[in-house]
Structure 1
Amino acid sequence: MPLLVLTGYPSSGKTTISERIKRFLEEKGHNLVRILDDYFDSEYEKTIEQYATKRKLTDHNNCMRSEVLRCLSADKEVFLIVDTLSYARSQRYELFTVAKNVKTTFGILFCDTNEATSSYLNEQNHNYSEDLLTDLIARYEKPNARLSGEKPLFEVIVRRGMESDLDSLPQNVDLPLDDIYESLALAKPLKNNASVAASHKISTDFVQEVDKTTQQVIKHILANQGQVGVGGFIVFPWDVEVRYQVKKVTSLPTLSRYRTQFLDMTRKNLIASGTSVTNLFVDYLKSVV
């Protein structure tokens, strides 16, 4: 039951590429390959307006995550391909935690295109309004193979100018099909660990501990990141085995946003109680900062 998440700009060829991967896997003998796109839920009209407002997007992402978990839990033989924008690291990390919780393999395929190509392809299928397309491109967070929740990371370049017939570019571009197959279909499942192990019941005390400790972690990072500098390590006196490497100086609003995402994951039982909250939160920050 491997999980492959496609990500990229709007209109970057993801749907065509996901269909090509599906055909390849079926030729390899996988009889149960499912593509999960934005329109899996009948409650959503076949529209991209769920990306237009934060509330609609939050509801949509919650439904998507639940559907991914349901699919992977229901059938051990399914090879699941998620064909959505998945433009935020936090979205992709949540799907990574789902894969870990059900002990399956996981990978990300990044359809790397530029704004000009995305705009051209969008003109052909008319999926997004011009304003929404521009907004989604501006919000897109490129995956990073150095982050624990974004590997293995496969990349395919879909760029205008590579082919004389741009309309057929997603159909003709080279795909790392063998690498995907070896890394997901043949590799050992991910091992569950403390940072993503699901707890069946989250106690009130643990929620309060998470709230208090995450605030403490943020204050400590803000107070020390300038002193240790980029590349330096911050040690937490109350949990000395945990270290946070400063990749860049991060502002309070940004850290607070990541904290909110982490608290949300706690409420959704994606974070286990009975473990070091400092370690869990710092590990999450390492994956998104």
Structure 2
Amino acid sequence: MPLILLSGYPSSGKTQRTTQLITYLESKIAHSPDPKISRLKIHHLTDQNLGLARTVYATARAEKDARATLSSAIKRHLSPHDIVIADAMNYIKGFRYQLYCEAKAVQTPHCVVHIGTPIETCRAWNAHALENGTGGYEEEIFENLVFRYEEPNGMTRWDSPLFTVAADDAQPPSEAIWEAMVGSDGKAKVVRPNAATVLKPASAQDYLYELDKTTSDVVAAVTTWQQHHPSEGGGDVIVPGAEQSIALPMVVPSLPQLQRLRRQFITLNRQHTLSKARIRDLFVDYLNDAFQS
């Protein structure tokens, strides 16, 4: 069942909104005559109940480990009978993309709830919490998190559907979230995994050779384009035989970055049975997704 990601500035009221949402969801589950819905369980994951102190955001290594802890907890609970609510920072779009992929891999719906509290209000709430000893982030950590915050964009797949809660809203849009994630009849939109995440036994003896060669050819097409456009950022790389082109970001990826993405793709697909043309199209799509995250 669904993965619901909360996202917002530090001290924006994410946990308060989550509590309101959980109250609504529990009522819907308790009063549903549908056995499929009535047996749903809600898992509320926070930094606090995962044992993560606010000071983890003071250093890059500690913060990376904290995200890994949250990601592992989410993956542990994602199942057809659970609603997972990640009430944490979730302020990095790349991390939200990663969690979107985890949800899609287990064919469960996903959404992002953006707590749109203004920065000045968050700053005041944070200072009040610090003064009273009831929480809050140290000022330097708070300002750093605000500076690095990447606001969700409903136009991207990993931030969609996106629900925004304004500071003066009495309640989050709980009914709309329920309909999108569970549905009135327990039949939310069917989520199908990417072809690259569906494992099938390999049958062709030369499959690994084709996987390696085809992905190498795609990387070569990108590097050749870069050689002919050394001073340009962005641009579309036409890959012979592919259905779509590769949209390069403004900061053009280096060869080591491309090779790392190629190795990741090979690892995901080494047990599949894909045609050469399908390998090429999936790898192009994989690169486009990586460059947008």
Structure 2 unmatched ranges of 5 or more: 31-39, 131-135, 202-206
Aligned to 2:76: 70
Q: Report the Cα offset of residue 26 of structure 1.
A: 0.7
**TM (normalized to structure 2)?**
0.74
Render the CA deviation track for 1:187-210: whole Å, top value 9, x for unaligned: 223111135x16599x99899779
Aligned to 1:179: 176
What SS class does the counterpart of residue 6 from structure 2 fall into?
Answer: strand
Q: Contact 2:114–2:163 at 8 Å: present in 1 too? A: yes
Aligned to 2:95: 91
Q: Label 1:77 to 1:242 Cα distance change in 2 as closer, same or farther (>3 A).
A: same
Give matches, 1:270-285, under 5 Å: 275=279, 276-285=282-291
Q: Label 1:176 to 1:277 Cα distance change in 2 as closer, same or farther (>3 A).
A: same
Q: Label 1:224 to 1:3 Cα distance change in 2 as closer, same or farther (>3 A).
A: farther
Q: Contact 1:156–1:175 at 8 Å: present in 2 too? A: yes
Distance 2:255 2:124 in 1: 37
Question: Residue 145 of structure 2 is aligned with which of 131, 136, 144?
Answer: 136
Render the CA deviation track for 1:99-123: whole Å, top value 9, x for unaligned: 1111111100011122211111112
1:58 aligns with 2:64: yes
Q: Label 1:227 to 1:56 Cα distance change in 2 as closer, same or farther (>3 A).
A: closer
Q: Label 1:221 to 1:48 Cα distance change in 2 as closer, same or farther (>3 A).
A: farther
Greater shift in the superposed pair: 212-221 or 4-13: 212-221
**TM (normalized to structure 1)?**
0.75
Q: Contact 2:221–2:237 at 8 Å: present in 1 too? A: no
Question: Residue 115 of structure 1 is aligned with which of 119, 122, 127?
Answer: 119
Question: Residue 155 of structure 2 is aligned with which of 136, 146, 150?
Answer: 146
Q: Contact 1:110–1:154 at 8 Å: present in 2 too? A: yes
Distance 1:211 1:53 in 2: 36
What SS class does the counterpart of residue 179 from structure 2 fall into?
Answer: helix
CA RMSD of aligned residues (A): 3.8
Distance 1:198 1:51 in 2: 35
Distance 1:33 1:25 in 2: 8
Aligned to 2:37: none
When the two structures are aligned, how many residues end up with a matched partner?
Answer: 264
Aligned to 2:204: none
Distance 2:92 2:23 in 1: 28
Q: Report the Cα offset of residue 33 of structure 1.
A: 1.4
Q: Contact 2:75–2:102 at 8 Å: present in 1 too? A: yes
Q: Report the Cα offset of residue 234 of structure 1.
A: 1.6
Distance 2:65 2:266 in 1: 15
Distance 1:204 1:58 in 2: 33
Q: Report the Cα offset of residue 212 of structure 1.
A: 5.4
What SS class does the counterpart of residue 245 from structure 2 fall into?
Answer: strand
Distance 2:142 2:214 in 1: 37
Distance 1:85 1:205 in 2: 42
Structure 1 unmatched ranges of 5 or more: 163-171
Q: What is the percent sequence identity of the aligned residues? A: 24
Q: Label 1:130 to 1:268 Cα distance change in 2 as closer, same or farther (>3 A).
A: farther
Render the CA deviation track for 1:124-149: whole Å, top value 9, x for unaligned: 32321101111011111111111111
What SS class does the counterpart of residue 195 from structure 2 fall into?
Answer: coil
Q: Label 1:270 to 1:212 Cα distance change in 2 as closer, same or farther (>3 A).
A: closer
Q: Contact 1:106–1:190 at 8 Å: present in 2 too? A: no
